[in-house]
Amino acid sequence: MGRTLGQDRAIRLFQNSLERDRLAHAYLLVGPPRVGKRSLSLEMAQALNCAGDSPPCGDCPSCRRLAAGTHPDFLVISPEEAKSQIGIERIREFRRLTAYPPLDGGWRVALIKPAEALTAQNDAGPTPS
């Protein structure tokens, strides 16, 4: 790793976690637009799913599919077209998809972009009066 500019600390933390096999279930990448959050998430997914000797190699089938945006285990959750928020139905679909093991045998990685577009919704139904 290391081709992503401006994310040295995040890269170092993730590499240490990967080397120690102590990965968190989620990583939150924050910062202003255009600092490389999406690029770093893609590189992290490549490192997790790489079949090469020095992840991410960029050359194995998994790394190439991730770079091309065609890997079945890299999910991008974003607002539906013409909407500014990620609704509860999108999250329900995401949960349904992630209930199963990864399709390619590695790790399933999801990018929620932008996370601030998630909406709060009460699933408990109407409040009794």
Q: If DSSP states are collapsed to H, E and C, what string results for 19-42?
A: HCCCCCCCCCCCCCCCCCHHHHHH
| Residue 91 structural domain | 8-116
124 found inside a domain: no
CATH code (residue 84) = 3.40.50.300
107 found inside a domain: yes
> How many domains does the chain divide into?
1
7 has a pLDDT exceeding 80: no
Q: What is the DSSP letter of 128?
A: P
Cβ–Cβ < 8 Å for 117, 86: yes
125 found inside a domain: no
Higher pLDDT among residues 61 and 98, named by residue:
61
116 has a pLDDT exceeding 60: yes
Mean pLDDT of all residues in the chain? 82
**Reported confidence tier of residue 129, pLDDT bands at 50, 70, 90:** very low
Distance CA 43, CA 58 (A): 9
